[in-house]
Amino acid sequence: MDRNIMCPRSLRYLLAVAEHHSFTRAAEALYVSQPTLSQQIKQLEESLDVQLLDRSGRSVRLTDAGEVYVGYARRALGELDAGKRAIHELQDLSRGSLRLGMTPITDYLAAPLLDNFNTRYPGITVSTLEMPQDDIESGVAEDNIDIGIAFTNTLSTEARSNGIETQLLFIEPLNIAVGKAHHCAGQEEPLNEHAFEQEPLVLLNSDFALRRHIDLYCLEHNISPHIAIETNSLSTIIEVLRLGRLATILPDSIVCRQHEVYSVMLLPELPHHTITLISRKESYKSPASLAFMDLAAGWGVDGCRKIPSHRSGPCPMSELCDPDED
Amino acid sequence: MDRNIMCPRSLRYLLAVAEHHSFTRAAEALYVSQPTLSQQIKQLEESLDVQLLDRSGRSVRLTDAGEVYVGYARRALGELDAGKRAIHELQDLSRGSLRLGMTPITDYLAAPLLDNFNTRYPGITVSTLEMPQDDIESGVAEDNIDIGIAFTNTLSTEARSNGIETQLLFIEPLNIAVGKAHHCAGQEEPLNEHAFEQEPLVLLNSDFALRRHIDLYCLEHNISPHIAIETNSLSTIIEVLRLGRLATILPDSIVCRQHEVYSVMLLPELPHHTITLISRKESYKSPASLAFMDLAAGWGVDGCRKIPSHRSGPCPMSELCDPDED
DNA sequence: CCGGTCCATAGCCATCGCCTATAGAGCTAA
DNA sequence: TTAGCTCTATAGGCGATGGCTATGGACCGG
């Protein structure tokens, strides 16, 4: 029974004999006994049904067949060595890949984190997929994406039972956002719920967790918002704000990055927006996934400490974009 | 003790699981039991110190490391398969090499045989080395050449004890050769030994077996040859003949290929020249060597049958060059 | 002819590959 | 929530294997 024909060990034995022109010297070099070498190479020759070595002279030489075969054997061993190195490079993160799912909102928020990750691990390829929140949850569950960046408080019970686990990234205050030409632009005094009901709004549609978050707030406070436009495009929302007539509700970190778009507080206050990483619970995680989650964990904790409930300073993103301050 | 890490068997097990996404189905496909597969792959992962398969879901999938590694594993197995095919192709003579040693005389005689061999086995590279007879014998003994084409009756006793074996190639009559302008050119009547002693000769020097053959003949018949020029160059001999003054002794097959060079018989007749293949006795012979010796055996037998003691027809080489007449 | 060197074989033994039996986890349907 | 089914991992047994030492036999040089 040829269980171990052409094992790397046998190939190395052959190559050593070819190099040293002697079973005895090759055996010494390989730290095995000469009879071991003799027997193993004999079995290799028998399994290949060809004589690889010419033993008739004083020194051992490769036959024509042996010459041909050692070329292939060397390349085969080279592939195995390269394979071993490659998987260890993967483990030390000099190479790899990562699939991230994000909504348009979290795409915006996480961009600095992605940039930081790529700076730190340039050999890892990150592919990001923009999708609605529900698709992120199912994508993680079905292993179509490695990590989702989503809102926590809207995770479905189905997601929770699907073996999804969460890791806090950061908490974001939400406020009314208006363009420069809007009559509320620049006012320090918060809007009350009655005034809020009078404002025509442009909002994301209900595919998005942010929208559902707003709907829940309105339901809880008995507010009937005046929704003029619904869309699935954040860009569309920003453009409409600039026209000056409509308002929207957005995380502060997005607002402060838009030219001539202003925050206005709402009372009662909108619950803060919690951004989390979601991944499959108790399943294999690649080194790249683990590295991203580690980076995000350190980054998010710093982020949380630095965001006050009501901000008077510059855009929080400039603080968050420099995690190396520690 | 990791005796058999990365054996082709383990690699094939891994590739099968990756393909079937199931240990059970892969085991069925490989005709081993499922626990065997499970254990062998576990050992491979332990030896590489990395997890290659993600078993956490309902179907088994490769990890990132696994994806990387199977590429290398496939190529390694491909090299081994190719190596196996290549050595069997070698055995079927689609590739190989052959080193031949010949004297200037036998080089001439064997050229049609070489041409025939190359026609039949175009994948085999033949390298010919021209050398004196003694060098042919020692070259074979020391395995610097695979086969020598030499004269039999001058083999030394040393060569015979050196484990040299011989195989008859063909027997060649020797005669006086003269140029067109020589006074004996075209005469049908043989020269007797007295007239022969008067003729100035150009001969090869005593490094060459042909020369020693001629010296032995003269000694046996008490003839004192008139040797005007000695050389180690057959070309020189042919050029000197053309000048018309000198004669030489050559195999008929060389004479009939020279423009305006004529044979003249000598009485008593020179012993025929026996050309043989010499090779190392009881040592490894490559498939290419065996094939050459087989072809020469069939060719030489045909050659011997076709050469009469005194020729009246065209050059024997044209007969010998067509061994496919059978 | 003798002594030394080197490869091949014999016999022994620890380890291995493969088996069957079965434990345990996970999933689905009732 | 529970039972049944499927699939992977582990336990234990056994024949096969890789490696050892001892030694036979061939070959070479003095």
Find all residues with CB under 8 Å of B64, minimum gap 6, and list them: A90, A96, A97, A286, A287, A288
Q: Residue B124: in which H helix or E strand, if any?
A: strand B124-130
ipTM, 2 dp: 0.66
How far is residue A186 CA from its own chain's centroid?
A: 38
| Residue extent(s) of CATH 3.40.190.290 domains in chain B | 174-271
pLDDT of residue A321: 36
Q: How many CA atoms lie within 13 A of A88 on its CB side?
A: 9
Report phi then psi at B264, rounded to 5.
-135, 130
CB B139 within 8 A of CB B102: no
| Residue extent(s) of CATH 3.40.190.10 domains in chain A | 96-165+279-309
Q: What is the mean pLDDT of residues B308-322?
A: 38
Integer angstrom CA distances of residue A58 from A21, A240, B158: 9, 91, 19
Which of A16, A42, A40 has the alpha carbon at shortest distance from A29?
A16
Nearest to B79 among A5, A65, A75 (CB): A75
The reply to whether B47 has its C-beta less than 7 Å from any atom of strand C is no
The hierarchical CATH code for the domain A8-91 is: 1.10.10.10
- DSSP-assigned states of every residue in A158-185: HHHHTTEEEEEEEEE-EEEEEETTSTTT
B268-295 pLDDT, tens per residue?
888 888 888 888 876 777 788 888 988 8
Instruction: Please check whether the domain covering A96-165+279-309 is classified as CATH 3.40.190.10.
Output: yes
Q: Within an 8 Å CB–CB cutoff, is residue B290 touching chain A?
A: no
Q: What is the mean pLDDT of residues B114-118?
A: 84
Question: Hey, is B150 helix, strand or coil?
Answer: strand
pLDDT of residue B30: 94
Which of B273, B113, B148, B252 has the alpha carbon at shortest distance from B209?
B273
The model's confidence at residue B240, banded by pLDDT at 50, 70 and 90, is: confident
Torsion of CA B51, B57, B59, B60, to 10 degrees: 0
The hierarchical CATH code for the domain A174-271 is: 3.40.190.290
Integer angstrom CA distances of residue A240 from A51, A197, A230: 82, 19, 11
User: Is a pLDDT exceeding 80 seen at residue B75?
Assistant: yes
Closest chain B C-alpha to A87 CA, distance in angstroms: 5
Q: Specify the higher pLDDT residue, B160 or A245.
A: A245
Contact B72 A86 (CB under 8 A): yes
Q: Which of residues 96-115 of A touch strand C (CB under 7 A)?
A: none
CA nearest to B71 within chain A: A83
CB A17 within 8 A of CB A60: yes
Contact A87 B65 (CB under 8 A): yes
The reply to whether B284 has its C-beta less than 7 Å from any atom of strand D is no
Q: For chain A, positions 115-174, list CB contacts with chain B under 8 A.
A: 143
> Does the CA dihedral A285-A288-A294-A295 come out positive or negative?
negative
Whole-number average pLDDT of chain B: 81
CATH class of B96-168+276-310: alpha beta
- How many pairs of residues across A and B have Cβ atoms under 8 Å apart? 125
User: Is a pLDDT exceeding 50 seen at residue B1?
Assistant: no
The reply to whether B33 has its C-beta less than 7 Å from any atom of strand C is yes
pLDDT of residue B162: 65
pLDDT of residue A72: 93
Chain B positions in Cβ-Cβ contact with residue A287 (cut-off 8 Å): 64
| Residue extent(s) of CATH 1.10.10.10 domains in chain B | 8-91
The reply to whether A49 has its C-beta less than 7 Å from any atom of strand D is no
B320 vs B116: CA distance, rounded Å = 10
Name the token pair of B277.
Answer: 């293949």
Report phi then psi at B48, rounded to 5.
-85, -10
The reply to whether A282 has its C-beta less than 7 Å from any atom of strand C is yes
Chain A positions in Cβ-Cβ contact with residue B31 (cut-off 8 Å): none
The model's confidence at residue B96, banded by pLDDT at 50, 70 and 90, is: confident
Nearest to B84 among A48, A55, A82 (CB): A48
Instruction: Using the structure, give the distance in angstroms from the CA atom of A99 to the C1' atom of D9, rounded to a whole number.
Output: 30
User: Is a pLDDT exceeding 70 seen at residue B204?
Assistant: yes
Find all residues with CB under 8 Å of A36, minimum gap 6, and list them: A27
B69 vs B56: CA distance, rounded Å = 19
B187 vs B212: CA distance, rounded Å = 27
Name the token pair of A250.
Answer: 């957005």
Name the token pair of A292.
Answer: 């991203």
* Long-range contacts, stretch A17-20, CB < 8 angstroms, 24+ apart: A17/A41, A17/A53, A17/A60, A18/A53, A18/A62, A18/A66, A18/A70
Low-confidence ranges of chain A (pLDDT < 70): 1-5, 153-162, 300-326
The model's confidence at residue B314, banded by pLDDT at 50, 70 and 90, is: very low
> Does the CA dihedral A87-A93-A96-A102 come out positive or negative?
positive
The reply to whether A42 has its C-beta less than 7 Å from any atom of strand D is no
B84 vs B86: CA distance, rounded Å = 5
Q: What is the mean pLDDT of residues B195-209?
A: 85
- How buried is B301 (Cβ within 10 angstroms: 0-12 exposed, 13-18 middle, 19+ buried)? middle
Q: What is the mean pLDDT of residues B136-150?
A: 83
Which of B242, B180, B208 has the alpha carbon at shortest distance from B108?
B208
- For helices B34-48 and B23-30, the axis angle rounded to 10 degrees is 110
pLDDT of residue B229: 82
pLDDT of residue A27: 95
Q: Residue B98: in which H helix or E strand, if any?
A: strand B96-102
A51-108 pLDDT, tens per residue?
999 998 788 999 989 999 999 999 999 999 999 989 888 888 888 888 888 887 787 7
The alpha-carbon radius of gyration of chain B (Å, integer) is 32
CB B66 within 8 A of CB B53: yes
CB A43 within 8 A of CB A53: no
Q: Within an 8 Å CB–CB cutoff, is residue B196 touching chain A?
A: no
Nearest to A284 among B56, B79, B88 (CB): B56
